[in-house]
A and B are shown apart, each in its own frame.
Chain A
Amino acid sequence: MTERHDHTHETNAGSSQIRTAALEDLLVEKGIVDRSRIDSLVERFEHDLGPMIGARLVARAWLESEFQSRLVRDADEVLRQENIRGAEIEHVEVKVNEPGVHNVVVCTLCSCYPWALLGLPPAWYKSPEYRARVVREPRKVLEEMGLSLEPDTEIRVWDSSSETRFLVLPEQPAGSEGLSMEDLAALVTRDSMIGVAKALNP
């Protein structure tokens, strides 16, 4: 049946809209999917999921070095203990930025991403350009995205897969000592946890 679909990539947005409607309607008629369930799933992904969950982990790791070591040693165990569950975080590794080492995350094959920690990925993360180029010329790509790193900083690029998702633990910005966890979390952007930006300055 696959050969029937070889033309799919020629479709424009209009026909994608039509094909999606046809597909959804047929599945609804067969009782395979349910429209109100789809509505509520989309709603959750659009509104309830976002990088604040990851940001809280980062803020707490900045505040408590013991928590940070546990997070780096076994993030899965910490997520279990914190009761953070959900899609696409079956196995998570946390990579720590420190002076001289910068981590950045990509999924070269598709769009793997820790949904339950960061929400759905931004469009650029899924783009062919980012996926191909950040591996080949990370320093240049980061610079284009507004992050200039010292020439002697080592850049480590982590390729996500169905087995492993990554979260970058950005460096705590200078001047943020003494802030509450909540205020710290507000400095931790989605992009800083992908590794294409630093945490915000207070």
Chain B
Amino acid sequence: MTDLEVLDGSPAAPPRDNGELIFEAPWQSRAFGVAADLVASGHFTWNDFREYLIEAISEWEAVESDEQQSWDYYSCWLAALERILTKRSFLDGKEFEIRAAQYASRPHGHDH
């Protein structure tokens, strides 16, 4: 399980050489971090996850372009994460939809 031993042995904290943001919104970094933690703790591997990511991306690409939402990589990432988690029974789909609906109905400013 070396997948997440990201920096071990490498020189610490190399500067980034470009000003681009890695994540454009906080939820994107959380969706990334949840997947990274699941991999780090051995619930699945990046290769397992990748299959779901490829599927989510190709489904996005299969949509006719006039109906297509604008491209958002992390919404594909999130779709892949939802699927692998329900498929492997870490999440109950129904429970998840109920929770999401609850959060959606909260007054603005109270969702994380």
Contact = CB atoms under 8 A, between A and B. Distances in A.
A13 B53 CA distance: 18
Nearest to B58: A109
Report, as a range, how many residues of chain A touch the other chain: 35 or more
- Interface secondary structure of B, over-half rule: helix
A17 B29 contact: no
A17 B59 contact: no
Contacts, number: 214
A128 interface: yes
Contact of B71 (A20, A27, A127): A127
A38 B33 contact: yes
B46 A52 contact: no
Interface stretch (A69-77, A110-118, A135-143): A110-118
A13 B72 CA distance: 9
Interface in A1-35: 1-2, 4-5, 8-13, 15-27, 30, 32-34
B25 A86 contact: no
- Interface secondary structure of A, over-half rule: helix
Interface string A30-57: 1011100111011011111111110110
A60 to B, nearest CB: 13
A4 B99 CA distance: 14
A26 B91 CA distance: 8
A22 B4 contact: no
B64 interface: no
Contacts of B61: 128
B90 A30 contact: yes
Contact of A15 (B4, B22, B76, B104): B104
Contacts of A42: 23, 29-30, 32-33, 36
B66 interface: no
Report, as a range, how many residues of chain B touch the other chain: 35 or more
A110 B27 contact: no
A1 B11 contact: no
B7 A44 contact: yes
A80 to B, nearest CB: 10
A48 B63 contact: no
Contacts of A85: 2, 5, 8-10
A86 B17 contact: no
A52 to B, nearest CB: 3
Contacts of A21: 27, 30, 103, 111-112
A123 B81 CA distance: 19
Q: Top 4 nearest A-B pairs by Cβ distance?
A: A52-B14, A83-B9, A38-B33, A8-B79
Interface of A: 1-2, 4-5, 8-13, 15-27, 30, 32-34, 37-39, 41-42, 44-53, 55-56, 83-88, 109-112, 115-116, 119-120, 122-123, 126-128, 162, 189-190
